[in-house]
Structure 1
């Protein structure tokens, strides 16, 4: 990070780093409560329209659909950081409790699921729950049991870090020294508790863009900052009664643009470019969630019709499996037995019937046999690029 890379205003915020002679870190200014934006009004409007449309749809959706989308986000957000686990691996791990035959980083992805679940429950239950305390809790869950993590889970860093480059002198960006992190995070926490006034209405999409950029600029943890920063986004929405939207698919498809737009804020204070990029991501992510949710419901309807045509008793176990499989598209016999409270032979027979009907495929990759609803897995694996705009609102 060369001084010449920074705009004049940010050059004044550079401070020397005690343990790295000749290197400088940036202490960011307070989280902006107002940004002069030009030419992006339409992008923000479209993002809010998409959010409103998603809210209308999700009010009619069963929780099983949102659970499935939560897990896809966990996979995508972790993949941005270089993990290899895919959606099938995550569901297999949840079904079996074993990582046998799975990528070694599947635990990292499952930790994301647990952190997301924890955060969503907390912000929906407690007003003002978006605090530094919660941010530390999220980080603690994300890093729990991760072998190559060298810091303390749930604690702000005690030493200098940097972004890009093997050495700090080659870094693309150097966040504030550790001694400045707490003050910077206290300021961000106050922004997360923003209450709109008559003269300073800041839309939720704009606030999300500002908060994410500021968090990544502070980089308060030794590792895991990207995942925590992305976790904040659905939590900010949920805290205000919106359904969570998940941006990781959009960010994976536009990874270079994502990092470039963030860097332009960090180094040059080019907020308009970042907010334009972010608002476009919100719009696309909301539409993708709506389309995927509708397709999951269509799969569920087809399965129900196929099961109804068997003309079994209404209380037959097989009638309960379609909903279970939308939320858990990889299952074991023991899992179905425990969830539905039936015997092993009954669960086994029901799964075998769905396999015969082509709804499930069986794999012996795990020590326990697993049954996979491959139609759901294929849908969840679909890149966001396959859905590019041309959306219509509902």
Structure 2
């Protein structure tokens, strides 16, 4: 359904130029969103796919292992959309006592994303509401160090920003003037807490994502925080026990369509086309996450059997090291000993056994401070994670 533009234009000053800034109308859309027929069926399929993801993760031997890796995979993907070149391996190396040799600014940006998500989830579990204060707190973690730390972390912007183009005058999109940001975000917060005629959680998440990206309330980090908001809503709305559904890969693979549909909502009020795209992404992403979880379970079982088949007295120690690599698919012997209470010679010998049978690989080429990687595990997580 096409409506009129979903907001109005106001004059604003940016970079010494007068520009037309877009101020969105409060949600929900008017006239009401059409959720019937094929769209209702799509909503049901997406909801069912999320339910399967939630159930599969509860059946995993250790759901926290999957969560640890999947959150970091998402951090890499979401940051790549903003132009970083870090890989999952870079992030895991950085987390090994912040080892040198990885692109610092890029990997700090990815590490900040993990911190922002973990902070948001911890606060929600404590009973804190999904509100603007929480978003500002998460933004503080997202932008608190490294690139962008000079752009008012945790504060709504007080100056005009713009998206695309070489200057404000030829920008692809200009968000609301700074004096309108507080009111726009207050209206969005009210929508998130709607009590009368509440919408399905997935529909609320779809609408709120567009509204947040349209308001662009911060000087930097809006894209990443807007994608995090989706994960928070699905958890807060009771669809997922853990934040295991992220649309960054889907948005990355369909960037042109993503931006086109955001623009059509603003210019034509075509919320239905956006919701269809969003729900299709949820269904595909949830199905992909389920497949990834199952592949990891199969991998772990097969590799455990390979170690057990060695039949040596050292097999129990080798299994302990393999278990450590499941928890951290990239780790040093020093870290392994500290976390598992093993002596260095025992850990070193067990790791060498894994290298000999092709389950682990030493990646530094050094004689000291060696780092080992569980390639098969990391390769599954890395699918689709190549920098743009």
Give the TM-score, by structure 1 length.
0.89
Q: Which moved more, 1:212-221 or 1:86-95?
A: 86-95
Give the Å deviation of 1:129: 2.4
2:254 maps to 1:261: no
Give the Å deviation of 1:361: 0.5
Unaligned runs of 5+ residues in structure 2 are none
Give the corresponding residue for 2:47: 48
Name the CA shift for 1:231/1:99 in 2 (closer, same or farther; >3 Å). farther
Give the corresponding residue for 2:176: 176
Name the CA shift for 1:16/1:176 in 2 (closer, same or farther; >3 Å). same
Aligned pairs for 1:211-226 (under 5 A) are 211-226=208-223
Q: Among residues 199, 202, 226, which one is paired with 1:202 in the alignment?
A: 199
CA contact 1:68–1:326 (8 Å) conserved in 2: no
Give the corresponding residue for 2:381: 380
Give the corresponding residue for 1:231: 228
Give the corresponding residue for 1:112: 113
Name the CA shift for 1:147/1:18 in 2 (closer, same or farther; >3 Å). closer
CA contact 1:158–1:178 (8 Å) conserved in 2: yes
Name the CA shift for 1:347/1:217 in 2 (closer, same or farther; >3 Å). same
Give the Å deviation of 1:288: 0.7
Unaligned runs of 5+ residues in structure 1 are 1-5, 386-394
2:30 maps to 1:31: no
Give the corresponding residue for 2:348: 348
**CA deviation profile, 1:2-53 (whole Å, cap 9, x unmatched):** xxxx975456x21111455541211111121773226522221211111111
Name the CA shift for 1:340/1:315 in 2 (closer, same or farther; >3 Å). farther
CA contact 2:56–2:290 (8 Å) conserved in 1: yes
Distance (Å, rounded) in 1 between the aligned partners of 2:201 and 2:137: 23
Name the CA shift for 1:240/1:322 in 2 (closer, same or farther; >3 Å). farther
Q: Which moved more, 1:270-279 or 1:62-71?
A: 62-71
Distance (Å, rounded) in 2 between the aligned partners of 1:279 and 1:155: 31
CA contact 2:158–2:179 (8 Å) conserved in 1: yes
Superposed CA RMSD: 2.4
Runs of 4+ in 1 over 6 A off after TM superposition: none
CA contact 2:89–2:330 (8 Å) conserved in 1: yes
Instruction: Give secondary structure in 2 for the equivalent of 1:17.
Output: strand
Q: How many residues align?
A: 375
Name the CA shift for 1:56/1:227 in 2 (closer, same or farther; >3 Å). same
Name the CA shift for 1:75/1:21 in 2 (closer, same or farther; >3 Å). closer
Distance (Å, rounded) in 2 between the aligned partners of 1:223 and 1:17: 19
2:159 maps to 1:159: yes
Distance (Å, rounded) in 1 between the aligned partners of 2:142 and 2:48: 32
Q: Among residues 9, 22, 25, which one is paired with 1:14 in the alignment?
A: 9
Distance (Å, rounded) in 2 between the aligned partners of 1:150 and 1:74: 21
CA contact 2:216–2:222 (8 Å) conserved in 1: yes
Name the CA shift for 1:9/1:294 in 2 (closer, same or farther; >3 Å). closer
Give the Å deviation of 1:326: 2.4
